[in-house]
């Protein structure tokens, strides 16, 4: 049994940008904690509340795939002596080794939050392995769940049970801020030159969903961005995650922004990120779904999401 296909990874420059932001945030919080008693600063909780209010005022929106009225059964995991999540080290910003050699990433932090919600943190571990070793390790009992971006499809469903998605990857349009295309309506891009990576799922989606637009293909995603900045194209279409990091990069230089969307198309872009478990571990699926629902409902998922995707994907 193999782990099958995986979701696309993101480049090192995006990961580095994210890590630097996280380090700055940790230093700020530590400094405030030390100086608060000396300088009579506001309590850290008050600062956190202010920061949260500022975050909520920002345009970045946060996905929530759950009906808040839904109730998910909590299975009894007391008979499990441990719960080991398996992941990889090369899928930034979702799982990677940071500059201090620590296991890090959105999925890693989510796994830890799931364990806290289920009150089993003392039993939980996150172990990183090469991609090709994930499936054999799970099959041999060296782990209990895969949180590594395994694509959900007909073949993988034969091998695993999956939780509901906790992130779906949208397709997005971006355009220059000084664009002559009026308004935010996608209809204003009709007949315009839209850059997209050649041979990608996003090219297929663009041609299928927006037949009145004029696709201009590039061999590399970076070339799409170059074409947008130079004015060769009127807008670009592609992966919202990659675009979010590019928009925040020095290379973008605040040139551009999202317009319209987001666009979800599982037939083209997949189901999104989930947690995979052996087919005999249905109790873990229920437990993880319960925890993800709780985390999504009380604001913890929002905090985690904005920590790693401050510009949003949606």
Q: Report the alpha-carbon distance of residue 142 to residue 158 in Å, rounded.
A: 20
pLDDT at res. 8: 56
pLDDT at res. 12: 46
Q: What is the pLDDT of residues 184-219, one digit of tens each?
A: 678 899 999 999 999 999 999 999 999 999 999 999
φ, ψ of residue 167 to 5 degrees: the values are -145, 130
**Which pTM was predicted?**
0.74
Q: Report the alpha-carbon distance of residue 247 to residue 43 in Å, rounded.
A: 34
pLDDT at res. 175: 95
Q: Report the alpha-carbon distance of residue 138 to residue 146 in Å, rounded.
A: 8
Q: Report the alpha-carbon distance of residue 3 to residue 25 in Å, rounded.
A: 35
Q: Report the alpha-carbon distance of residue 201 to residue 209 in Å, rounded.
A: 12
pLDDT at res. 39: 33
Domains of the chain: 12-167+271-308 (3.40.190.10), 171-269 (3.40.190.10)
Contact 131, 3 (CB under 8 A): yes
For residue 185 the two structure tokens come to: 């309506």
Q: What is the pLDDT of residues 117-172, one digit of tens each?
A: 999 999 999 999 999 999 999 999 999 999 999 999 999 999 999 999 999 999 99
Q: Report the alpha-carbon distance of residue 60 to residue 240 in Å, rounded.
A: 12
Q: Report the alpha-carbon distance of residue 197 to residue 311 in Å, rounded.
A: 22
Residues of the chain scoring pLDDT < 70: 1-61, 180-184
Residue given tokens 């230093």 in the structure block: 27
């Amino acid at each position: 049994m193999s782990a099958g296909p995986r979701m696309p990874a993101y480049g090192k420059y995006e990961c580095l940008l994210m890590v630097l932001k996280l380090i700055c945030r940790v230093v700020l919080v530590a400094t405030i904690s030390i100086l608060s008693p000396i300088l009579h600063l506001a309590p850290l909780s008050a600062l956190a509340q202010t920061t949260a209010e500022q975050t909520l005022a920002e345009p970045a929106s946060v996905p929530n795939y759950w009906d808040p009225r839904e109730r998910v059964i909590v299975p009894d995991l007391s008979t499990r002596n441990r719960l080991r999540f398996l992941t990889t080290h090369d899928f930034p910003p979702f799982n990677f080794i940071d500059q201090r050699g620590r296991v890090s990433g959105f999925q890693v932090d989510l796994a830890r939050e799931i364990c806290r919600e289920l009150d089993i943190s003392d039993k939980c571990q996150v172990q990183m392995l090469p991609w090709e070793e994930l499936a054999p390790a799970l099959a041999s009992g060296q782990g209990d769940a895969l949180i590594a971006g395994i694509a959900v499809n007909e073949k993988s469903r034969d091998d695993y049970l999956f939780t509901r998605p906790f992130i779906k990857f949208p397709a997005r349009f971006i355009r220059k801020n000084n664009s002559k295309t009026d308004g935010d309506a996608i209809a204003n891009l009709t007949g315009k030159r839209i850059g997209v990576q050649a041979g990608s799922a996003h090219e297929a989606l663009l041609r299928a969903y927006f037949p009145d637009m004029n696709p201009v293909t590039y061999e590399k995603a970076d070339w799409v961005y170059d074409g947008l900045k130079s004015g060769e194209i009127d807008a670009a279409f592609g992966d919202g995650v990659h675009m979010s990091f590019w928009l925040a990069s020095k290379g973008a230089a605040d040139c551009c922004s999202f317009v319209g969307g987001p666009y979800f198309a599982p037939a083209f872009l997949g189901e999104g990120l989930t947690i995979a478990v052996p087919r005999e571990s249905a109790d873990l699926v229920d437990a993880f779904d319960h925890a993800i629902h709780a985390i999504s409902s009380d604001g913890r998922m929002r905090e985690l999401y904005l920590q790693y995707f401050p510009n949003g994907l949606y």
